[in-house]
């Protein structure tokens, strides 16, 4: 049962449907749930994802990847082979200090996947977004988790492992790997030592569906506080550089209404923070 109020959105240059079909063919228990010229929604292994046909402005990068727990060798090998088609290995599939089998691959659409052999706890998500804090955000992973936990209800930090003294130069005390949940949706985060030529951007954002205007106001104001920034059409950037879309849960049905959809879209394009009543009354 899909219960995610918070889910990732991937930005594509006209390839959202092709990407969704590719991901659904790679994973079991997957399906496309809705589609339009602008966006497509699909579910893979219990995780809801949106694909957006946003044009060439933004590109997906490894700052937010999908971390996948694979429960046997056949599964991890099969997924690696499928996701690697037309893509590129970032860390080859093999044995590492933290896992008997692990690999990190960028697929043909630019999305990156971290596959790891392990045991999936009952009730856990198989596929979770993982935030990688690098560059000027390096060292902020733990702080960001605690910031998000304070904003979202029904949230918890489940596991945090820090870099030990001398383990990686300049990383002692920073977050090596952490799991946490926000309103029932699971995430992971880590600080990434070294030089990287990417950082958080609109290529992968997090959608928050809200039932009321009060929820929209709460998440909007909380996430832009202390250094975040508003953007258009319900988008914002938080103080750590992560992009969010704060939208009404009814937005999809409003936009698909043959009579009101175009008027609602015209109103939406004028807004930064979205106003449910204005959209409904369009």
pLDDT of residue 4: 46
Q: Are residues 172 and 55 in the same domain?
A: yes
- 104 and 236 share one domain: no
- What's the rounded Cα separation, in Å, for the pair 96 and 233? 43
| Whether residue 81 is found in the same domain as residue 216 | no
**Counted domains in the chain:** 2
One domain for residues 161 and 76: yes
In a domain, 202, yes or no: no
The pLDDT of residue 122 is 86
Beta 243-248 vs 204-210: how paired, if at all?
A: parallel
| pLDDT above 80 (res 49) | yes
197 occurs within a structural domain: no
Do 176 and 223 belong to one domain? Answer: no
pLDDT of residue 20: 98
**Residue 204 included in any domain:** no
| First-to-final CA distance of the chain | 33
- Residue 179 CB coordination number (10 Å): 19
Whichever domain contains 151, its CATH number is 3.10.180.10
38 and 173 together in one domain: yes
Q: Is residue 168 part of a domain?
A: yes
Distance, CA of 93 to CA of 187 (rounded, Å): 22
- Evaluate whether residue 276 is within a structural domain: yes
pLDDT, tens digit, 9 for 90 and up, residues 231-247: 999 999 999 999 999 99
Among 34-48, 136-150, 243-257, the range with the most confident prediction by mean pLDDT is: 136-150
Same domain, 146 and 31: yes
Instruction: Give the domain-ending residue among 126, 157, 191.
Output: 191
Please check whether residues 159 and 119 belong to one and the same domain: yes
Residue with tokens 């088609």: 85
- Residue-level pLDDT at 3: 41
User: Do the domain assignments include residue 203?
Assistant: no
Average pLDDT, integer, range 80-96: 97
Q: Are 151 and 221 in the same domain?
A: no
- Please check whether residue 198 lies inside any domain of the structure: no
- Both tokens of 263, joined, read 């008027």
Range of the domain at 147: 6-191
- Contact in structure between 90 and 114 (CB atoms under 8 Å): no
- My answer on whether 44 and 112 are in the same domain is yes
pLDDT at position 207, please? 97
* Domain closes at, from 191, 225, 244: 191
Would you say residue 71 lies in a domain?
yes
Q: What is the pLDDT of residue 1?
A: 34
Reference 101, options 82, 79, 124; nearest CA is 79
- Total-model pTM: 0.94
Q: Quote the percentage of the chain above a pLDDT of 70.
A: 99
């Amino acid at each position: 049962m899909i219960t995610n109020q918070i889910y990732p959105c991937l930005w594509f240059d006209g390839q959202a449907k092709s990407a969704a079909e590719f991901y659904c063919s790679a994973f079991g228990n997957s399906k496309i749930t809705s589609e339009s010229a602008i966006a497509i929604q699909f579910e893979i292994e219990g995780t809801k994802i949106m694909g957006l046909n946003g044009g060439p402005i933004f590109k997906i990068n490894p700052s937010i990847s999908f971390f996948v727990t694979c429960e046997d060798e056949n599964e991890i090998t099969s997924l690696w082979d499928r996701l690697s088609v037309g893509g590129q290995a970032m860390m080859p599939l093999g044995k590492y200090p933290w896992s008997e089998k692990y690999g990190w691959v960028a697929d043909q659409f630019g999305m990156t996947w971290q596959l790891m052999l392990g045991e999936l706890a009952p009730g856990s998500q198989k596929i979770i977004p993982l935030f990688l804090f690098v560059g000027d955000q390096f060292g902020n992973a733990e702080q960001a988790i605690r910031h998000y936990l304070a904003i979202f209800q029904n949230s918890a930090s489940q596991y945090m492992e820090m870099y030990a003294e001398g383990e990686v130069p300049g990383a002692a005390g920073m977050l090596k790997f952490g799991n946490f949940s926000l309103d029932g949706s699971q995430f992971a985060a880590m600080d990434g030592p070294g030089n990287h030529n990417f950082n958080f951007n609109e290529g992968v954002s997090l959608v928050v569906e809200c039932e009321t205007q009060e929820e929209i106001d709460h998440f909007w104001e909380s996430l832009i506080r202390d250094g975040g920034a508003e953007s258009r059409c319900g988008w914002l950037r938080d103080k750590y550089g992560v992009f969010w879309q704060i939208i009404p849960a009814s937005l999809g049905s409003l936009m698909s209404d043959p009579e009101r959809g175009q008027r609602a879209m015209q109103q939406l394009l004028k807004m930064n923070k979205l106003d449910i009543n204005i959209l409904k009354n369009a």
